[in-house]
Amino acid sequence: MSAAPAAAFSGRRVGAMVRRYVYLLVGSGPRALELLYWPIVQMILWGFTSQFLMTNSSYVARAGGVLLGAVLLWDVMFRGQLGVSVSFLEELWSRNLASLFASPLRPIEWAAALVVMSLVRVVIGIAPAALLAILLYHYSIFALGLPLIAFFVLLLAMGWSIGFIIGALLLRFGLGAESMAWAAAFLLAPAAAIYYPVAILPVWLQDVAWAIPAAHVFEGMRAVMFTGRFPLQHFVAALGLDALYLVIGVGAFLVAFEIARRRGSLLQSGE
């Protein structure tokens, strides 16, 4: 039996890695439940908060669901990032990196598999919460229409960028950097203007906010909800920033991988 020659990029190897994470997800009830749990809890919490504010806040009353929409979209970004980071961590926890990279698998194929799994995890996590929001609060995020697709993709791409940068840190510092996987997104949350307009931030923080794709998305979401118009300038800005950060994120990940080979840490990863 002879193995197939190693192509520069193989969809089959990407598929093999996706299969590896799907096996893990399907075989572990707690892992699958955890995907659903937090988005639903968040949605219920913010759903009641929205109901209360609808009668007590003119801002929320003008566009019911502005908070729920923000919660669900922020979860797209956060779950998208976790989808990359947690799948990455699975290899460190299982001390599997050496076996993987002694095989023909290339780092860029692994990165592609992490992205696919991130998408799978986001859909599994967010879709039930979005459907429950319709049942419980009569709020449908799908009412955003076509802009929703743009917001979804832009936030997902931002999550991937952060996920790859965390992956690079994990390759460099090992499991000592594990907590970054859960904390990093929240470092950006205040400036991402999820629940409030960027204009509310101090001037210096507004400059930071405009460098974050999510801030443009949430401004765009509010514009669609309040005015019914899709703000193209925010879309273009978020798209450009996402492209830049994805190049930086994937680049950092690939460089960290080569550094790990120099340091011999592919062999030593694990608990």
Partner 1 sequence: MPDPAAAIEVENLVKRFKRTTAVDGIAFAVARGACVALLGTNGAGKTTTLAMLLGLVTPSAGTIRVLGEDMLRHRHRVLGRMNFSSPYVDLPQRLTVRQNLDIYARLYGLADVGARIAALARDLQLETLLDRAVGRLSAGQKTRVALAKALLNEPELLLLDEPTASLDPNTADWVRGYLEAWRTRTGATIVLASHNMAEVERLASDVLMMRRGKIVDRGAPRALVRCHGRDTLEQVFLALARETEPVTP
Interface with partner 1 (CB under 8 A): 1-6, 8, 10, 12-13, 15-17, 19-20, 23-24, 27-28, 90, 94-96, 98-106, 258, 261-264, 266-267, 270
Q: Which is nearer to partner 1, 23 or 37 (CB)?
A: 23
Q: Which is nearer to partner 1, 89 or 191 (CB)?
A: 89
- CA 193 vs CA 14, 88, 126, 176: distances in Å: 35, 28, 20, 30
Find the angle CA(22)-CA(80)-CA(181) to the nearest 5 degrees. 95
Which of 153, 147, 140, 155 has the alpha carbon at shortest distance from 68?
A: 140
Residue 3 CB, shortest distance to partner 1, in Å, is 4
Residue 9 CB, shortest distance to partner 1, in Å, is 11
CA gap 7, 105 in Å, rounded: 10
Q: Which is nearer to partner 1, 92 or 237 (CB)?
A: 92
First to last CA, the chain: 36
CA gap 112, 77 in Å, rounded: 17
Q: Which is nearer to partner 1, 5 or 202 (CB)?
A: 5
Q: Which is nearer to partner 1, 62 or 263 (CB)?
A: 263
Find the angle CA(175)-CA(180)-CA(186) to the nearest 5 degrees. 165
Q: Which tokens hold the place of 178?
A: 């594990």
Residue 17 CB, shortest distance to partner 1, in Å, is 8
The count of residues in the chain is 271
Residue 93 CB, shortest distance to partner 1, in Å, is 9
Q: Report the sign of the C-alpha dihedral through residues 99, 251, 265, 178, in that order.
A: negative
**In the chain, helix, strand, coil percent, each to 5?**
80, 0, 20
Residue 264 CB, shortest distance to partner 1, in Å, is 5
Q: Which is nearer to partner 1, 101 or 253 (CB)?
A: 101
Q: Which is nearer to partner 1, 207 or 258 (CB)?
A: 258
Q: Which tokens hold the place of 165?
A: 């940068």
Residue 254 CB, shortest distance to partner 1, in Å, is 14
Residue 116 CB, shortest distance to partner 1, in Å, is 14
The count of other CB atoms within 10 Å of the CB of residue 225 is: 18
